[in-house]
Amino acid sequence: MNALKKFLGIIWMVTGPLAMAFLIVQAIQKVGLTHTDIERTNTILQWAIILFIFFPISIGLVIFGFYAVKGEYDKLPSSSEEI
Amino acid sequence: MSETLPKNNIFKVIGASSLGTLIEWYDFYIFGSLAVIIGHQLFPEDAGASALINTLAIFAAGFIVRPFGALVFGRLGDLIGRKYTFLLTLVLMGGSTFFIGLIPSYRSIGYAAPILVLILRLIQGLALGGEYGGAATYVAEHAPKNRRGFFTSWIQTTATLGLFLSLGVIVITKNLLGAETFGNWGWRIPFLLSIVLVVVSIYIRMKMHESPMFSKLKAEGNISKNPLKESFNNKGNFKMVLLALFGATMGQGVIWYTGQFYAQSFLENTCKLDFNDSRYILLWGIAFATPFFVIFGAWSDKVGRKWIMLSGMLLGIIFYRPIYQIFLDDTDFTKIEKNDILSSSPTTKSILIEGTQDSLKTVTTKVLLKNGASFNIIQADTVSVTKGLLPVKEIMKDKVLPTAVFWKFVGLIFFQILLVTMVYGPIAAFLVELFPTKIRYTSMSLPYHIGNGVFGGLVPFIATLIASFAGATPLSGLWYPIGIAALSLVIGTVYLSNKRDENIND
């Protein structure tokens, strides 16, 4: 199980930047498809919100993966005293 | 627990905590339940679908700032105590809800209207971010160790009951005033009513005592000096915050908001169900499913929290698409035969378009079917003096379902809310047991509000956005909650422990 935790850790470390790259490509594509001024402003606003929120979360996923690779989750604390 | 510390009756503690939390959820959800009407009030009349998406974005903004509220008020809660912190959040929430009810429309003050509402919505989000962690911590710190899941599950019912109350108040107000008056100014009443509920809740909470564990820490001089630093600078604690977020609260959040919020939005905006029908279906579903929060909370005291929560996510991943396909199929009235129609009565209305000699001709045909269903077909044509008749596409809306289909939909919503009770019933106890007393308010609030507030709260916004892409189907929006729940399920299965921490007094 610990080997699986570490292997998946690598997946999470890769997933974070990949997810962000996917969102950025989607944002550029969708903003490019809009025509009028108000429609374009709305689309930029919507995608700005999404990117603003998910950027720090994707960093969190990378850190989570890093901890997993380092074996930090191999044994979870059995009480909050061990944290 | 020290003998000199005040001992609250646990049911009084639950009652007082739950009532305030329920009111905060009520305040938070009326905005989402009225998104379509508020969109018309806050944005130009010709904004169309972007008015709804922008209103959902303002609605989502309240969710996005919840983690910041968790940090600010969580810190306060770990420094000055649970009781006074969630009194403050209640005042902020009630005040901002009341003021949303007073904001003039776009026609009166232009874009100042959505900006003011956005600011008030942000305050609502900050307040809610501080509220929930406090209430859950407060109850858990009063509960006996082997019944923590059961007692905290009462707090878990409040979010759903807050939604129930908001829907109920909206339906009653609309039926009393009529659709037109409600659309003009009646929608403000549910917001204004909040101030009465908040005053009652403040009165009750003023009589509560501080949490015994926090009082003990305070008496011993062991209160955290910098809970933010201790929560997130300590690697041992921070890694548990990340695990709680990715392995539990993220999946829980999307299951919650798909079953209880996106479902209603889908029925109303995609299936074009009647305003009352879409809300009655949800009200019945909530009424039948709410007791299961307590059942799953109590069960988690016996079998552990992990597998109950993860089973809820798995069932959502498997069944969401089939359920929403049924919603679409059963509300598709385009294939009805002529002999299915009982009556069909058109009414025509013409209004002059301001500043032109053209007019807008609207033909509304009310169609009644033999099986008890009904719907309106709306054809709005522009009659131009120079170009003649400019027809637009017919819209079928205000669909009222036949009784059998109505109850089938109630069953499908009930099932979705049952999944919500599985993921949400045990999660307060799960989070409380993960973190030590002196930084508990701060540490558990952050993953909860990112998972529930950000991942979950964005479900209506992101799913509606995905469904509006070129080439998307009405079910495409579901890939967002399904994908997030799947990720959380894998992480939770591999990394979470099912063992309960019996001693949280540390």
Pairwise CA distance, residues A43 & A38, whole Å? 9
Option in B57, B450, B499 nearest A78 (CB) = B499
Q: Is B423 strand, coil or helix?
A: helix
The answer to whether the CB atoms of B237 and A83 lie below 8 A apart is yes
Angle between helices B148-177 and B10-33 (to 10 degrees): 40
Q: Which residues of B touch A73 (CB under 8 A)?
A: 239, 243, 495
- Residue by residue, pLDDT tens for chain B (506 residues) are 333 334 557 777 788 778 877 887 887 788 877 877 887 888 776 666 666 677 777 777 888 888 888 888 877 877 877 778 878 888 888 889 899 999 998 888 888 888 888 889 889 888 888 877 778 888 887 888 788 899 999 888 988 888 889 989 998 999 999 988 998 899 999 999 988 888 888 888 777 777 677 777 777 776 766 666 766 677 888 888 999 999 999 999 999 999 988 998 899 889 999 988 999 999 999 999 999 999 999 999 999 999 999 999 999 999 999 999 999 999 998 888 888 888 888 888 877 776 677 777 788 888 899 888 888 888 877 777 676 666 666 788 889 999 999 999 999 999 999 999 999 999 989 988 888 777 777 788 888 888 988 898 888 888 888 888 888 899 999 999 999 999 999 999 999 987 666 666 65
Low-confidence ranges of chain A (pLDDT < 50): none
Tokens of B405: 């289909």
Residue B116 has a CB neighbour count (10 Å cut-off) of 17
- Give the phi and the psi of residue B263 in degrees, each rounded to 5: -55, -45
The answer to whether A48 and A30 are in contact (CB under 8 A) is no
Q: Which residues of A touch B495 (CB under 8 A)?
A: 5, 68, 73, 76
Option in B64, B465, B506 nearest A46 (CB) = B465
Q: What is the CA radius of gyration of chain B?
A: 24
- What are the sequence ranges of the domains in chain B? 10-331+402-495, 338-400
Pairwise CA distance, residues B70 & B81, whole Å? 14
Q: Which residues of A touch B42 (CB under 8 A)?
A: none
Pairwise CA distance, residues A70 & A66, whole Å? 6
Helix (H) or strand (E) holding B383: strand B374-384
CATH level 2 (architecture), domain B10-331+402-495? Up-down Bundle (1.20)
* Residue whose pair of structure tokens reads 């018309």 in the numeric block: B40
Helix (H) or strand (E) holding B302: helix B291-303
- Whole-number pLDDT of residue B503: 62
Q: Which residues of A touch B47 (CB under 8 A)?
A: 38
Q: Does B64 touch chain A (CB under 8 A)?
A: yes
Question: Which one of B43, B53, B242 would you mutate to disrupt binding with A, by most A Cβ within 10 Å of its Cβ?
Answer: B242
Q: Does B315 touch chain A (CB under 8 A)?
A: no
Q: Which residues contact B351 (CB under 8 A, 6 or more apart)?
A: B359, B360, B362
Pairwise CA distance, residues B312 & B338, whole Å? 43
- Could you tell me which of B355, B84, B87, B75 has the C-alpha nearest to residue B230? B75
Question: Distance from B490 to chain A by nearest Cα, in Å?
Answer: 10
- Could you tell me which of B353, B363, B269 has the C-alpha nearest to residue B39? B269
The answer to whether the CB atoms of A72 and B64 lie below 8 A apart is no
Q: Which residues contact B162 (CB under 8 A, 6 or more apart)?
A: B21, B22, B23, B24, B25, B26, B27, B28, B29
Model ipTM?
Answer: 0.91
CA-CA distances (angstroms) from residue B165 to B155, B168, B193, B412? Answer: 15, 5, 12, 21
The answer to whether the CB atoms of B239 and A42 lie below 8 A apart is no
Option in B237, B454, B465 nearest A53 (CB) = B454
The answer to whether B460 and B183 are in contact (CB under 8 A) is no
Question: Distance from B366 to chain A by nearest Cα, in Å?
Answer: 34
The answer to whether the CB atoms of B490 and A49 lie below 8 A apart is no
Q: Which residues of A touch B61 (CB under 8 A)?
A: 49
CA-CA distances (angstroms) from residue B78 to A80, B86, B227, B461? Answer: 16, 12, 7, 33
Tokens of B83: 């009781």
- Could you tell me which of B308, B252, B444, B253 has the C-alpha nearest to residue A83? B444
Q: Which residues of A touch B57 (CB under 8 A)?
A: 45-46, 49
Residue B67 has a CB neighbour count (10 Å cut-off) of 27
- What are the sequence ranges of the domains in chain A? 2-73
